[in-house]
Amino acid sequence: MPGQRVFLHSRTLPVRMVAPSLKLQDLIEEIRGAKTQAQEREVIQKECAHIRASFRDGDPVHRHRQLAKLLYVHMLGYPAHFGQMECLKLIASSRFTDKRVGYLGAMLLLDERHDAHLLITNSIKNDLSQGIQPVQGLALCTLSTMGSAEMCRDLAPEVEKLLLQPSPYVRKKAILTAVHMIRKVPELSSVFLPPCVHLLHERHHGKAVGLPILCFSSVDRRIENRMGTPAHRRRVAHTHRHTRNRLSCPWPPPFTSPTLTPGILLGTITLITELCERSPAALKHFRKVVPQLVQILRTLVTTGYSTEHSISGVSDPFLQVQILRLLRILGRNHEESSETMNDLLAQVATNTDTSRNAGNAVLFETVLTIMDIHSAAGLRVLAVNILGRFLLNSDRNIRYVALTSLLRLVQSDHSAVQRHRPTVVDCLQETDASLSRRALELSLALVNSSNVRAMMQELQAFLESCPPDLRADCASGILLAAERFAPTKRWHIDTILHVLTTAGTHVRDDAVANLTQLIGGAQELHAYSVRRLYNALAEDISQQPLVQVAAWCIGEYGDLLLEGNCEEIEPLQVDEEEVLALLEKVLQSHMSLPATRGYALTALMKLSTRLQGDNNRIRQVVSIYRSCLDVELQQRAVEYDTLFRKYDHMRAAILEKMPLVERDGPQADEEAKQSKEAAQLSEAAPAPTESQASQLLDLLDLLDRASGDAQHPPPLDPSPGGALVYLLDLPCAPPPPAPIPDLKVFEREGVQLNLSFIRPPENPALLLITITATNSSEGDVTNFICQAAVPKSLQLQLQAPSGNTVPARGGLPITQLFRILNPNKAPLRLKLRLTYNHFHQSVQEIFEVNNLPVESWQ
Amino acid sequence: MLEESREELMRFMLLFSRQGKLRLQKWYLATSDKERKKMVRELMQVVLARKPKMCSFLEWRDLKVVYKRYASLYFCCAIEGQDNELITLELIHRYVELLDKYFGSVCELDIIFNFEKAYFILDEFLMGGDVQDTSKKSVLKAIEQADLLQEEDESPRSVLEEMGLA
């Protein structure tokens, strides 16, 4: 292996006898030499067996080595719980080597969940009081890493003692251990508060600063009174007794060396920070030292520290950051403190060297502090500008923190952040997705009514090229911003259209509904919208939301599409066949989702009332889909087909254009449409073809005279309203209770005529007859006209037929609806006259319909 | 009362190789062994999937992760809340400098074969996730003293003693 180390005790020794244990490094080598996972496991299991045996035998000499090996395999993921007790033994040993490994083991293998962890409390206590600095260091480190709440309570007095040790090495460690203890047991704040103040009072380089030394006992009592449960109070009182006793000694205790090393200052600031976060009393207390903190930081920044404590030319950035953090906590929600630090913050913000990360780290912390306290407006702008400069930094990490911070500030300091909008937009081009995502979020947050056009342009350009996982957010962000700030409806429609074209598959489900509602509500833009959507659809039928909206639009406003003139768009020459073909293409495409096909089918159906030509093509499509495997489509097709055949009189009314919907109102769904349609049906009653009816009266006269069976007409029922009222009552689909059987009334050379009857239950006087002409012959039937006559006492209305051609071999039938009002329930008699061309011959047939079922008039 | 969660706390530091082998794990918040393993596995996957041109910060679970690759080793810190990621980068760099000074041009093998030393150095530099001393000199001096104490402690052994025969 290249770079392999050669160790002093390599295995040139004779064969292992009586199991002398492997050295740690030898074991590591052996493990690394294993070629497979299985081999590694074997080596380790074998060694662990040795280790376990060694532990059992209680070999004190090699114990530290055995544990070290165990810790190594533990890091590889193997179990090491059987080493826990060995940690205790090693810690208790007097040899430093043992303690070193033992404490390490304790930190790695023991945690507060194990009962064993409490057992090291005593050892720690002993080690803390022994006075050997490295040992004290180990003990403190272990306590601060894995000390449980119980251990912290037990050992607080010891740690407190060490805060006053002359040795700066131990003191600084004790201070940071106190930080951990307060985290675990917040009540211990009261123990560590007094020494903190004192530590801060000490000044390095022997300079003394006059600071009133507080009366600690009163501070204690105040804090004590805030204690919670009696159990808490007892426990704290216990430690307090300890403290109070010592308070009777002169305070501060005499020191041999008053110098405060930087390490201690750093630790002290950290401890004070922790105290202020945990205890409102401490917070209030330390607000008094804000001036002193300001002075310390100012000195640090201006006259500088030793080079030993500088990083990249910045004086002790760790200390600067820590002080800034503390100032943040003290200045938060406190005007006076905030004011005291304003100047200093401005000074740090402007004087810090920004060429390296260390300086930028300090600058960043300054910005965080400025934004969190009550700073002057100018200072806040300065902070935002620093972040703006960060955005231009070549270091990606700095741009990241800038974007994150600006995101947090964009609401509270909107105008200040707006100034950096161009830079933010540039960041959309970041190659790192976490940066571009933040840039996107920030850009969207910066959109307002004055910059919306420019911003949307940028964002739409971004949408076209952005990474796929940002597409959805970008699309929905654009749509939302468009909704809030659209300068004109047309711009809004254009924007949505563009989003649907670019990222159609990534938009949210309600985008379709929103767009249809938007278009529906903008009457002046119907022509424009339908044209644009038609063009878009003609180009690409794969983007489902777009296709759905386009289909809906074409269905609704197909008439406008064919009109051919709209000022805002290039003139478009589209003929009906093209439109129908496009919709059929959508219907048939395998790319279309079932919902999309539903839209297309409905659109086709609507066009049957919008277009001028005959509806044969549409009827054909509808008919085909009656047997579609998709149940939803099948149902629609069946219903639409029925609409053609039996309810043709209602078709135009039902397929009317949707009324303009309030943007904020409920979505116009089918039910609303129906109810609104119903209100409009009064205008939509189809004009009866009266001319035909009058022609046949002569025939009827003949009938009447011939039969002589005319019954005496019973008194007239006062019919409620007129035809219009009945239409309103008519349900769309449900069949009458007892369906009257169909009747075949005519057949000639494959041409057949059937009658079907409907008596709407709400209106007993009304009879609806639908005639259906079918053609099973080899020749087409053309120019088909059907006329009818009924007795005088009945009223007849003929509706327009669906067409006048029945193609050969079972081609699409012709249907026509007769409406007969028979208020007197006179016996129904019906005479029909048919004329058509078939096999190049003119055919005329006149006949009376026999066997009319009595249900049709009784 | 102020919020329970501390503003800044380093949860843990991990060192691992590009092949996903753990070289050091220091946990500053009590976590069970099982939970640790899970988190380590997950985080390693996330970090190893990062491309070289990406920034050193990422969000994972409810934490911020600051990582930097030095040669074949990833140094990874998980910090909380409103932390200053930039200073954490400095912290990581400081640690690497300390290792470098101690081992003399440190490489991954040094950390593998002397993992306990890597821990000792870390424990002299950070305590509870907080920086003890900004001075490299100070930290290295402390390690030196501890090493000396260890050497003095270990009285010279004979080869036979080593083999367990005396």
pLDDT in tens, A276-330: 998 898 999 999 999 999 999 999 888 866 788 889 889 999 999 999 999 999 9
Q: What is the pLDDT of residue A383?
A: 95
Q: What is the pLDDT of residue A393?
A: 93
Q: For chain B, what are the domain ranges?
A: 8-161
Q: Report the C-alpha gap between A605 and A625 in whole angstroms.
A: 12
With an 8 Å Cβ cutoff, is B17 touching chain A?
no
Q: What is the pLDDT of residue B155?
A: 58
Give yes or no for residue A208 having a pLDDT over 50.
no
pLDDT tens figures, A782-831: 999 999 999 888 888 888 888 889 998 888 889 898 888 888 888 888 99
> What residues form DSSP beta bridges with A821?
A766, A795
Lookup: tokens for A478: 């654009």
Give yes or no for residue A245 having a pLDDT over 50.
no
- Name the residue with tokens 């933010």: A424
Give the closest-approach CA distance of B155 to chain A in angstroms: 10
Nearest beta carbon to residue B55 from set A3, A111, A435: A435
Q: What is the pLDDT of residue B163?
A: 61
- pLDDT class of A614 with cuts at 50, 70, 90: confident
Contacting B residues, span 70-89, partner chain A, CB-CB under 8 Å: 82, 84-87, 89
Say how many C-beta atoms besides its own lie within 10 A of residue A842's C-beta.
Answer: 9
CB within 8 Å: B55 and A397: yes
CB within 8 Å: A97 and B132: no
pLDDT tens figures, A362-374: 999 999 999 999 8
Q: What is the pLDDT of residue A564?
A: 65
With an 8 Å Cβ cutoff, is A316 touching chain B?
yes
- pLDDT class of A202 with cuts at 50, 70, 90: low
Using a 10 angstrom Cβ sphere, with 0-12 exposed, 13-18 middle and 19 or more buried, the burial of residue A577 is: exposed
Q: What is the pLDDT of residue B160?
A: 55
Q: What is the mean pLDDT of residues A169-195?
A: 92
Name the average pLDDT for chain A. 81
Q: What is the pLDDT of residue A662?
A: 58
CB within 8 Å: B82 and A71: no
Give yes or no for residue A840 having a pLDDT over 50.
yes
Contacting B residues, span 102-141, partner chain A, CB-CB under 8 Å: 107, 109, 112-113, 115-116, 119-120, 123-124, 127-128, 130-138
Contacting A residues, span 97-126, partner chain B, CB-CB under 8 Å: 97, 100-101, 104, 107, 111-113
Residue of chain B with shortest Cα separation from A306 = B135
pLDDT tens figures, B42-56: 999 999 999 988 999
Give yes or no for residue A210 having a pLDDT over 50.
no
Q: Order across the sheet with A743-748: list the strands.
A: A743-748, A751-758, A766-775, A814-821, A795-798
Lookup: tokens for B78: 């998980």
Q: Report the C-alpha gap between A301 and A359 in whole angstroms.
A: 11
Q: Indicate the helix (H) or strand (E) that contains A600.
A: helix A594-610
CB within 8 Å: B57 and A400: yes
Choose from B87, B105, B147, B153 for mutation: most chain A CBs within 10 A.
B87
Q: What is the pLDDT of residue A727?
A: 36
On chain A, the residues whose CB falls within 8 A of the CB of B163 are 13, 17-18, 20
CB within 8 Å: A137 and B146: yes
CB within 8 Å: B134 and A398: no
Residue of chain B with shortest Cα separation from A149 = B30
Size of interface A-B (CB pairs under 8 A): 200
Task: Using alpha carbons only, give the angle A445, A447, A449 rounded to the nearest 5 degrees.
Answer: 140
Backbone angles phi, psi at B60, to 5 degrees: -140, 130
Lookup: tokens for A565: 């003139």
Long-range contacts of A114-117 (CB under 8 A, 24+ apart): A114/A84, A116/A84, A116/A85, A116/A88, A117/A146, A117/A148, A117/A151
CB within 8 Å: A173 and B127: yes
Q: Report the C-alpha gap between A482 and A479 in whole angstroms.
A: 5
Nearest beta carbon to residue B135 from set A25, A180, A308: A308
Give yes or no for residue A260 having a pLDDT over 60.
no
Q: Report the C-alpha gap between A403 and A387 in whole angstroms.
A: 8
Q: What is the pLDDT of residue A443?
A: 95
Q: Report the C-alpha gap between A171 and A160 in whole angstroms.
A: 10
CB within 8 Å: A113 and B30: yes
- pLDDT class of A854 with cuts at 50, 70, 90: confident
Q: Report the C-alpha gap between A685 and A681 in whole angstroms.
A: 6
Residue of chain B with shortest Cα separation from A180 = B128
Out of A198-207, B29-38, B104-113, B152-161, least confident range: A198-207
pLDDT tens figures, A445-504: 999 989 999 999 999 999 998 888 899 999 989 998 998 998 998 899 889 889 988 888
Q: What is the pLDDT of residue A613?
A: 79
Q: What is the pLDDT of residue B137?
A: 93
Out of A225-239, A463-477, A645-659, B5-19, least confident range: A225-239
pLDDT tens figures, B57-104: 999 998 999 999 999 999 999 998 777 999 999 999 999 999 999 999
Q: What is the pLDDT of residue B11?
A: 92
Using a 10 angstrom Cβ sphere, with 0-12 exposed, 13-18 middle and 19 or more buried, the burial of residue A205 is: exposed
CB within 8 Å: B30 and A365: no
Residue of chain B with shortest Cα separation from A261 = B133
Contact, A188 vs A239, CB < 8 A? yes
pLDDT tens figures, A696-742: 444 444 444 444 443 443 333 343 333 333 333 344 444 445 678 88
Give yes or no for residue A526 having a pLDDT over 50.
yes
CB half-sphere exposure, A500, CA atoms < 13 A: 29
pLDDT tens figures, A330-355: 999 999 999 999 999 999 999 998 99
Give yes or no for residue A610 having a pLDDT over 60.
yes
> Which one, of A693, A857, A831, lies nearest residue A765 by Cα?
A857
On chain B, the residues whose CB falls within 8 A of the CB of A21 are 164
The hierarchical CATH code for the domain B8-161 is: 3.30.450.60
Higher pLDDT, A694 or A251: A694
CB within 8 Å: A113 and B164: no
Q: What is the pLDDT of residue A205?
A: 33
- Cα separation values, A214 from A237, A245, A696, Å: 20, 17, 118
Q: What is the mean pLDDT of residues B159-165?
A: 58
pLDDT tens figures, A412-437: 899 999 999 999 999 999 888 889 99
- pLDDT class of A93 with cuts at 50, 70, 90: very high
Q: What is the pLDDT of residue B4?
A: 38
pLDDT tens figures, B122-161: 999 999 999 999 999 999 999 999 999 998 876 555 555 5
Q: What is the pLDDT of residue A451?
A: 92
CB within 8 Å: B87 and A368: no
On chain A, the residues whose CB falls within 8 A of the CB of B91 are 318
Choose from B55, B68, B73, B95 for mutation: most chain A CBs within 10 A.
B55
Contacting A residues, span 397-426, partner chain B, CB-CB under 8 Å: 397-401
CB within 8 Å: B2 and A283: yes
Give yes or no for residue A411 having a pLDDT over 80.
yes
Choose from A308, A354, A394, A409 for mutation: most chain B CBs within 10 A.
A308
What number is the ipTM of this complex? 0.92
Question: Which residues have C-beta within 8 Å of that of residue A171, sequence separation ≥ 6?
Answer: A162, A163, A164, A165, A264, A267
pLDDT tens figures, A742-795: 889 999 999 999 999 888 877 888 888 989 999 999 999 999 999 999 988 888
Give yes or no for residue A677 having a pLDDT over 80.
no
Q: Report the C-alpha gap between A579 and A562 in whole angstroms.
A: 9
On chain B, the residues whose CB falls within 8 A of the CB of A95 are 153-154
Q: What is the pLDDT of residue A663?
A: 53
Nearest beta carbon to residue B123 from set A9, A141, A399: A141
Task: Using alpha carbons only, give the angle A556, A561, A562 rounded to the nearest 5 degrees.
Answer: 120
Q: Report the C-alpha gap between A675 and A685 in whole angstroms.
A: 16
